[in-house]
Amino acid sequence: MQLGLAVAVPIAGPIVVDPVAPVPTAMFFPRSRDLAYCSQQYCRTGLQSDKEAYLSACSAAHESILKSRADHIKSELDEVAGDVRATWRTAQRLLHRVVYDDAQCAQIVLTFCQFFVDKVRRIRDNISAALQSSVPRTFTVCQHLGPQLSSFEPVTAEELRKLLPGMPSKSSPLDILPCSLL
């Protein structure tokens, strides 16, 4: 069974958990690669034929997502077929989103930020431990003259709006949260 939870980071407004959005199926990924290829090709050449291929790939990817969502909803309802109460609960869950209040959003944001602070700290500690356990090398020591990074400054919604669309959809094995969820 596919899980249908996708959490969005609040740029403006509340955090919404969408129980209808399933994890993309295997049929979507080839279309995703086609879309990426066509997008890069169109950006390189600017030709009308490449633009048409890109738009066609966009349409195919969109159709795949819609089909995946429809299949997910159908499978959820098929699982509870015959039980009126379970069907009603499932329909309610599929049709209605959960909206968090400001206090819950603030807590989720703090948890999210703490995740990255801890991640940077772990990376720093791992590098430090690896350097201490490795064979000493003869490097010239360069003293850092700038301020020490000990905390992160709050990020504005406008900075997030500029940053997120430009992020590559790559992830590290250390990431718990894939970039595609952002």
pLDDT in tens, 84-95: 999 988 888 888
- Would you state the structure tokens that stand for residue 7, as one six-digit string? 């959490």
Q: What is the mean pLDDT of residues 64-69?
A: 86
Q: What is the mean pLDDT of residues 128-150?
A: 78
- Would you state the structure tokens that stand for residue 140, as one six-digit string? 């010239």
Same domain assignment for residues 95 and 105: no
At 130, the pLDDT band (50, 70, 90 cuts) reads confident
Same domain assignment for residues 28 and 115: no
Look at residue 158 and tell me if it is in a domain.
no
Domain boundary among 53, 85, 100: 100
Q: Where are the alpha helices (DSSP H) in 19-171?
A: 28-45, 48-79, 84-95, 102-133, 157-163
CA 40/CA 43 separation, integer angstroms: 5
Same domain assignment for residues 16 and 76: yes
Q: What is the mean pLDDT of residues 146-159?
A: 82
At 10, the pLDDT band (50, 70, 90 cuts) reads very low
Same domain assignment for residues 47 and 113: no
Range of the domain at 69: 1-100
Same domain assignment for residues 5 and 49: yes
Comparing CA positions, the residue from 57, 33, 35, 37 lying closest to residue 45 is: 37
Look at residue 1 and tell me if it is in a domain.
yes
Domain count, the chain: 2
pLDDT: is 106 or 4 the higher one? 106
Look at residue 165 and tell me if it is in a domain.
no
Same domain assignment for residues 40 and 118: no
Same domain assignment for residues 54 and 111: no
Same domain assignment for residues 126 and 72: no
Per the prediction, the chain carries an average pLDDT of 75
Q: What is the mean pLDDT of residues 127-150?
A: 78
Same domain assignment for residues 42 and 119: no
Look at residue 163 and tell me if it is in a domain.
no
